[in-house]
């Protein structure tokens, strides 16, 4: 298939210095539309390329967030020393790469060719992601009180569309057709909304008679799902390519893949370090912690049902830990901080609305 090309007009974010850390690269990849960085140094110009896949593989093989990208980058990248659009198109099509830079005699990047939006869509959506999606929607939504005194959390609107409907639509756009929602709190209101709405999809509801936590309600689907499925909380959106996550899950032969997001947290106080004798040794002014956290989004195999008891109140992380102890293969899929939109509390809900407006997700 011939792939159309376009020129990355503002390519400054796709160019990064050689001496930065993996964490810096992951944060930069979060901000760019084309998920590849071109690495330069001040002496020799363009030297290497780094994709989101390179970063992910490094993290999964034990690299720390402070690892220099020079240790994981590709130092034999494709590039053009003359501005030849036809050659760029041929290389990108045959080598299946998303972008290629054009450099001058000093190896300074002067232009970046990328696959056009039309080419991306044709290649990206040729195969449907037809797997079941389970949405855990039974909680009280206590962190969003008093909103949830009136509306259950799945129906709280984000820019006029209930968050649960946004989740369903995001999967429907990928080709998913089978949706399940585990409900408890104000469940009749949730059912009424979807029964009355003029939607092109159907939602199957599963009633918790008592609150069963973020994982216990899965037991209700034990006899109905017999292959790979997605489980998500009802208050998040994941902006990463779900196909890549499922592909990774299958390649690793995981029974559970937990999607984990980078989180940067600044401690709002100065830290004082001191010796055993009480003498001050150093100060750290508002240090920043970086770590990966559970997003509440999983790819699961039906083996998970063997580790949940009927009417058991249990969180999904506890179920995963049972599986791990029993020798089941459980793993993670790391994503950038901006690829996880969460509306679990007021400040994060406002952030989600801002991101949706900026990304034009309507």
| The pLDDT of residue 5 is above 70 | no
For 204-217, the pLDDT digits (tens) are 999 999 999 999 99
Sequence-distant (≥ 6) Cβ neighbours of residue 197 within 8 angstroms: 165
| The pLDDT of residue 191 is above 80 | yes
Q: How far apart are CA 339 and CA 344, in angstroms?
A: 16
- Mean pLDDT (the chain) is 87
Q: How far apart are CA 26 and CA 224, in angstroms?
A: 38
Mean pLDDT, residues 188-202 taken together: 85
For position 283, what pLDDT does the model report? Answer: 86
E strands in 84-202:
99-103, 109-115, 133-137, 157-158, 161-162, 179-183
Give the rounded percent of residues in the chain with a pLDDT score beyond 90.
Answer: 54
For position 46, what pLDDT does the model report? Answer: 94
Closest by CA to 202, choosing from 177, 219, 173, 225, is: 177
| The pLDDT of residue 349 is above 90 | no
For the record, the structure tokens of 231 come out as 């489980």
For 60-73, the pLDDT digits (tens) are 999 999 999 999 99
For position 119, what pLDDT does the model report? Answer: 43
Q: At what angle do helices 22-29 and 52-60 cross, to 10 degrees?
A: 140
| The pLDDT of residue 295 is above 80 | yes
For 116-144, the pLDDT digits (tens) are 654 443 333 335 788 999 999 988 877 77
Mean pLDDT, residues 192-207 taken together: 86
For residue 86, CA distances in Å to 2, 3, 78, 113, 180 come to: 11, 11, 15, 11, 47
Tell whether pTM > 0.85.
no
Closest by CA to 141, choosing from 349, 352, 358, 353, is: 349
Greater model confidence, 185 or 159: 185
For position 347, what pLDDT does the model report? Answer: 63
In this structure, are residues 23 and 86 in contact, taking their beta carbons and an 8 Å threshold? no
In this structure, are residues 187 and 207 in contact, taking their beta carbons and an 8 Å threshold? yes
For 138-172, the pLDDT digits (tens) are 888 777 767 777 888 889 888 888 899 999 999 99
E strands in the chain:
5-7, 15-17, 36-41, 45-51, 99-103, 109-115, 133-137, 157-158, 161-162, 179-183, 203-207, 229-233, 236-238, 256-266, 270-274, 280-285, 288-300, 330-335, 340-342
For 207, which DSSP code?
E
For position 121, what pLDDT does the model report? Answer: 32
| The pLDDT of residue 361 is above 90 | no
Sequence-distant (≥ 6) Cβ neighbours of residue 178 within 8 angstroms: 130, 131, 132, 133, 204
Highest mean pLDDT among 39-48, 201-210, 264-273, 299-308: 299-308
Q: How far apart are CA 277 and CA 298, in angstroms?
A: 49
Q: What radius of gyration do the chain's Cα atoms show?
A: 23
For position 275, what pLDDT does the model report? Answer: 84
In this structure, are residues 171 and 133 in contact, taking their beta carbons and an 8 Å threshold? yes
**CA-CA-CA-CA dihedral for 260, 266, 272, 276, to nearest 10:** 0
- 3-state DSSP call for residue 252? coil
For 315-343, the pLDDT digits (tens) are 999 999 999 999 999 999 999 988 888 87
- Exposed, middle or buried, 289 (CB in 10 Å: 0-12/13-18/19+)? exposed
For 232-261, the pLDDT digits (tens) are 999 899 988 899 999 999 999 999 999 999
For position 298, what pLDDT does the model report? Answer: 98
């Amino acid at each position: 298939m011939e792939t159309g090309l376009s020129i990355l007009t503002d390519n400054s974010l796709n160019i990064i210095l050689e001496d930065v850390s993996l964490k810096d690269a992951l944060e930069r990849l979060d901000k760019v539309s084309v998920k590849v960085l071109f690495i330069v140094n001040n002496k020799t110009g363009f030297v290497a390329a780094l994709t989101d896949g390179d970063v992910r593989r490094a993290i999964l093989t034990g690299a720390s967030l402070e690892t220099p990208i020079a240790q994981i980058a590709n130092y034999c990248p494709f590039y053009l020393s003359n501005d030849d659009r036809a050659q760029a198109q041929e290389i990108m099509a045959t080598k299946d790469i998303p972008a290629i830079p054009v450099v001058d005699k000093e190896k300074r990047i002067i232009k970046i060719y990328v696959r056009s939006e039309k080419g991306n869509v044709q290649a990206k959506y040729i195969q449907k992601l037809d797997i079941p999606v389970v949405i855990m929607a039974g909680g009280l939504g206590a962190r969003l009180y008093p909103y949830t005194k009136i509306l259950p959390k799945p129906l709280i609107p984000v820019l006029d569309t209930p968050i649960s409907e946004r989740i369903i639509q995001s999967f429907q756009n990928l080709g998913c057709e089978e949706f399940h929602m585990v409900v408890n709190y104000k469940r009749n209101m949730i059912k009424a909304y979807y029964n009355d709405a003029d939607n092109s999809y159907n939602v199957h509801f599963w009633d918790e008679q008592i609150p069963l936590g973020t994982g216990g309600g899965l037991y209700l689907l034990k006899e109905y799902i017999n292959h790979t499925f997605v489980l998500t909380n009802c208050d998040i959106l994941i902006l990463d390519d779900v196909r890549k996550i499922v592909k990774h899950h299958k390649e690793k032969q995981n029974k559970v893949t937990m999607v984990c997001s980078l989180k940067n947290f600044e401690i709002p106080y100065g830290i004082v370090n001191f010796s055993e004798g009480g003498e001050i040794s150093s100060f750290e002014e508002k240090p920043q912690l970086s770590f990966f956290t559970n997003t509440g989004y999983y790819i699961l195999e039906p083996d998970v049902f063997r580790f949940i008891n009927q009417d058991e109140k249990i969180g999904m992380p506890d179920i995963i830990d049972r599986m791990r102890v029993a020798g089941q293969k459980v793993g993670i899929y790391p994503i950038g901080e901006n690829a996880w939109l969460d509306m679990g509390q007021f400040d994060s809900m406002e952030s989600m609305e801002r991101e949706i407006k900026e990304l034009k997700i309507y």
